[in-house]
């Protein structure tokens, strides 16, 4: 069972309420909410006020991905604005353990985000504070970039560490991938160990007028299930690939 988290970075910001309702209706598990500060990354997006504004439009969780530096001051604001998960880049926090604790203290699930060149060792001493590990498969800052293939090996390593931790503690940590996830590469990404997939341009690139979001998400799930396994959560209608 995988989770799909469409990134609203590629949504129509002029109709954001409608857009998040549409992805929920189309079967999304989470809303992925990209926060960029023009400091940690060279782009500027949305903050707690926008999170608060979309909150009443959906029941699904809001997965806040902070690409900001510093991190801590924004955590209480996003928690108050209705975030369910908050993840941040370890390079952007002076005290990673403290920031993780702060997120949980505010009632949210906590995640660490690894850029393509960020080593997984950042998780070594904080596994018990993690609910989510997010591997970037592009350099953060923009939607619509190409998936970096070395992420697959990194995913396998992260999967092993998470599985070992689960065996020792009985606690599951989600493994999310963000950047360049498409219908034609989701199978190998899931086979490498991801259980939560962010997809921005893949989902919002399809006009929703004719059920586009639903079709893309159905295809993502079917392909994620792989050729040898039965389709996951097939929703009745025939898929685009005819399977």
Site residues (vs Zn ion, CB under 5 A): 34, 65, 178
CB 221 within 8 A of CB 232: yes
* CA terminus-to-terminus distance, the chain: 19
Q: Which residue is catalytic, options 34, 63, 131, 208? A: 34
Give which of Zn ion, ligand DX5, none residue 225 binds (C-beta under 5 to 8 Å, depending on kind).
none
Interface with ligand DX5 includes 199 (CB under 6 A)?
yes
Give which of ligand DX5, Zn ion, none residue 100 binds (C-beta under 5 to 8 Å, depending on kind).
none
Interacting residue with ligand DX5 among 35, 202, 206, 225 (CB under 6 A): 202
Site size toward ligand DX5 (CB under 6 A) is: 21
Structure tokens belonging to residue 13: 């910001």
Interface with ligand DX5 includes 193 (CB under 6 A)?
no
Interface with ligand DX5 includes 198 (CB under 6 A)?
yes
Compute how many other C-beta atoms are within 10 angstroms of the C-beta atom of residue 209: 7
Strands (E), the chain: 3-6, 30-36, 61-67, 85-88, 109-114, 132-136, 174-178, 196-199
Residue 34 among the catalytic residues: yes
- CA-CA distance, 122 to 91, in Å (whole number)? 9
Spatial CA neighbour of 235 closest among 4, 22, 26, 2: 26
Contacts of 15 (CB under 8 A, 6+ apart): none
Give which of ligand DX5, Zn ion, none residue 145 binds (C-beta under 5 to 8 Å, depending on kind).
ligand DX5
> Which residues between 32 and 51 bind ligand DX5 (CB under 6 A)?
32, 34
Interacting residue with ligand DX5 among 37, 179, 219, 222 (CB under 6 A): 179
Residue 97 among the catalytic residues: no
Nearer to ligand DX5, 108 or 204 (CB): 204
- CA-CA distance, 62 to 58, in Å (whole number)? 9
Catalytic residues: 34, 178
Q: Which residues bind ligand DX5 (CB under 6 A)?
A: 7, 9-10, 32, 34, 65, 138, 140-141, 143-145, 178-181, 198-202
């Amino acid at each position: 069972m995988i989770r799909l988290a469409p990134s609203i970075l590629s949504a129509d910001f002029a109709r954001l309420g409608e857009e998040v309702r549409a992805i929920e209706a189309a079967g999304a598990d989470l809303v992925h909410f990209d926060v960029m500060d023009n400091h940690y990354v060279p782009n500027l997006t949305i903050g707690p006020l926008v999170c608060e504004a979309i909150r009443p439009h959906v029941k699904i969780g809001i997965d806040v991905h902070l690409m900001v530096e510093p991190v801590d001051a924004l955590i209480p604001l996003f928690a108050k604005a209705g975030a369910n998960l908050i993840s941040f880049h370890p390079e952007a926090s002076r005290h990673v353990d403290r920031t993780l604790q702060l997120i949980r203290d505010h009632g949210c699930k906590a995640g660490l985000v690894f850029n393509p060149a960020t080593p997984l060792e950042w998780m070594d001493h904080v596994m018990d504070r993690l609910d989510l590990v997010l591997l970037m498969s592009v350099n953060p800052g923009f939607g619509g970039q190409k998936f970096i293939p070395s992420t697959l090996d990194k995913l396998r390593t992260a999967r092993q560490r998470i599985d070992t931790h689960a065996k020792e503690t009985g606690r599951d940590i989600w493994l999310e991938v963000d950047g360049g996830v498409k219908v034609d590469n989701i199978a190998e990404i899931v086979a490498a160990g991801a259980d939560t997939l962010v997809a921005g341009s893949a989902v919002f690139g399809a006009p929703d007028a004719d059920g586009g979001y639903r079709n893309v998400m159905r295809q993502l799930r079917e392909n994620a299930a792989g050729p040898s396994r039965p389709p996951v959560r097939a929703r009745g209608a025939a898929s685009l690939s005819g399977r």
